[in-house]
């Protein structure tokens, strides 16, 4: 069977070969026009005439100063999950009232940092966290809004590791739990933490929009117990196209579906909300990003041909971690006949370091460039220094012009945190 190929979704023609010559490989390349189009599609279409709407960019998908600055310029709100992601927001001067702080185990230092910066909303995962947040907010005389994260038990039909509301998930509280009731009670009597609404996130790389419909119904049922119109945050997780087999809904249709699922669910439950939030990450950064590699050796074994590339699981852990599938092209040979069945393997000391298994590609030789599409989300953000690999540079391409926004790590960077101590000290 001839497999259909997906050759990326770039909004502009990008000369990957030229970029590789200039900036080296491996290289993360982002089509800024593509990201801006996506952001605007969300802003223009995620609307209701019944309640306010907000789109938060989930910065865990891809965060660096340039990206968060783009999100700021485009006027989205921001979802952060750590002090580190919050620090990026601080560095680029993000309006803190538009920042939403997530995470199931925020530390005291992180909560203090958030309060100090004036973060608008904390998404509270559990009662322990709310107790600490309340105490810290009171002590510092700060006010903060809180959304409570619920685990509503909806199967998002995605990979187990990125499914978040199965009943055994570590995230959020069961709507019928004592823990959730205690949170509501504690926030009610707090002068510093204002209970502002509810949050759910059913998983990631979700195509089954019926799962969001069910989630909206479950959330509406919970909202019914509150008399005041609250905020409802439906999370993110909207699927993207990694290969031709993936058929995500177009953003305008997705937005309209989400809004109408929520409107209908609220009507059926007889509930009103003041605002509706979503938190896309992957669907903003994913398809706009590609990774360019240089082919090193081509190796034939009786059952396989390997194209070895100069990166691998250190710049894209997703194939090893989630069995994620990708498509790629040999740069400059996009239209050549795909005659060889190949496994694209990385350079890590790890048998599982295979980026793409059994893909038909043209003949390639050492020095050719290979571009893997749709690596923009959770590629750079999950990169590692395993085998002391240096994290690649990131280049933004806008209107045909390129700009490096993150430089490649150097060996000196790898050693930057090593401390040469004078000896052991008694504790
Ligand atoms: N909101 C919450 C509460 C989340 O936990 C996540 C993702 C998002 C929004 C954004 O989801 P997105 O729209 O990007 O799918 N490393 C995995 C994905 C983990 C997602 C974690 N949470 C991967 O590479 O597929």
CA of 339 to the centre of ligand 1 (A): 36
Whether 149 lines ligand 1, by a CB cut-off of 6 Å, is no
Distances (CA, A) of 161 to 178, 210, 262: 27, 20, 26
Residue 130: partners with Cβ closer than 8 Å, 6 or more residues away: 124, 146, 148, 183, 186, 187, 193
Give which of 322, 370, 312 is closest to 345, Cα–Cα.
Answer: 312
Tokens of 313: 């699981």
pTM of the model: 0.96
Please tell me the predicted confidence (pLDDT) of residue 155: 75
- Strands 77-80 and 99-101, by their bridges, are parallel
CB 365 within 8 A of CB 402: no
Distances (CA, A) of 331 to 253, 315, 341, 373, 416: 33, 19, 17, 12, 35
Whether 199 lines ligand 1, by a CB cut-off of 6 Å, is no
Report the atom number in ligand 1 closest to the C-alpha of 282: 14
Chain centroid to CA 412 = 29
CA of 206 to the centre of ligand 1 (A): 10
Please tell me the predicted confidence (pLDDT) of residue 2: 45
Whether 61 lines ligand 1, by a CB cut-off of 6 Å, is yes
Mean pLDDT, consecutive 10-residue segments, the chain of 427 residues? 65 93 98 98 98 98 98 98 98 98 98 98 98 98 98 75 66 96 97 98 90 96 97 97 94 97 98 98 98 98 97 98 97 96 98 97 98 98 98 97 98 94 84
CA of 208 to the centre of ligand 1 (A): 16
């Amino acid at each position: 069977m001839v497999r259909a190929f997906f050759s990326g979704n770039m909004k502009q023609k990008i000369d990957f070969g030229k970029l590789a010559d200039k900036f080296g490989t491996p290289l993360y390349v982002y089509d800024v026009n593509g990201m801006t189009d996506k952001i605007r599609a969300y802003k223009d279409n995620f609307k209701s005439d019944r309640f306010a709407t907000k789109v938060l960019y989930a910065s865990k998908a891809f965060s660096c100063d340039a990206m968060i600055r783009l999100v700021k310029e485009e006027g989205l709100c921001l979802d952060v999950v750590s002090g580190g992601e919050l620090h990026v927001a601080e560095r680029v001067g993000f309006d803190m009232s538009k920042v939403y702080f997530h995470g199931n185990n925020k530390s005291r230092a992180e909560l203090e940092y958030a309060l100090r910066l004036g973060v608008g909303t904390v998404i509270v995962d559990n009662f322990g966290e709310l107790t600490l947040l309340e105490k810290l907010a009171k002590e510092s005389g700060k006010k903060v809004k809180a959304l409570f994260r619920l685990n509503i038990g909806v199967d998002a039909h995605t990979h187990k590791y990125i499914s978040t509301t199965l009943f055994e998930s570590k995230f959020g509280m069961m709507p019928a739990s004592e823990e959730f009731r205690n949170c509501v009670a504690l926030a009610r009597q707090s002068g510093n933490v204002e209970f502002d609404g509810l949050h759910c996130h059913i998983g990631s790389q979700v195509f089954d929009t019926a799962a969001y419909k069910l989630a909206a119904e479950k959330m509406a049922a919970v909202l019914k117990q509150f008399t005041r119109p609250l905020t409802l945050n439906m999370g993110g997780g909207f699927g993207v196209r990694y290969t031709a087999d993936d058929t995500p809904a177009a953003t305008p249709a997705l937005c309209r579906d989400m809004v109408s699922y929520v409107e209908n669910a609220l009507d059926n439950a007889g509930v009103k909300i003041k605002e509706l939030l979503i938190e896309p990450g992957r669907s903003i950064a994913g398809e706009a990003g590609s990774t360019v590699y240089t082919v090193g050796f081509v190796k034939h074994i009786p059952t396989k041909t390997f194209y070895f590339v100069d990166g691998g699981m250190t710049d894209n852990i997703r194939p090893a971690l989630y069995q994620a599938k990708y498509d790629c092209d040999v740069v400059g040979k996009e239209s050549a006949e795909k005659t060889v069945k190949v496994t694209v393997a990385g350079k890590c000391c790890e048998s599982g370091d295979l980026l793409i298994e059994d893909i038909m590609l043209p003949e390639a030789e050492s020095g050719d460039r290979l571009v893997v599409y749709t690596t923009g989300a959770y590629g750079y953000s999950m990169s590692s220094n395993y085998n002391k690999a240096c994290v690649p540079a990131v280049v933004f391409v806008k209107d045909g012009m390129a700009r490096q926004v993150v430089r490649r790590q150097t060996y000196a960077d790898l050693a930057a945190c090593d401390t040469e101590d004078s000896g052991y000290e008694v504790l």
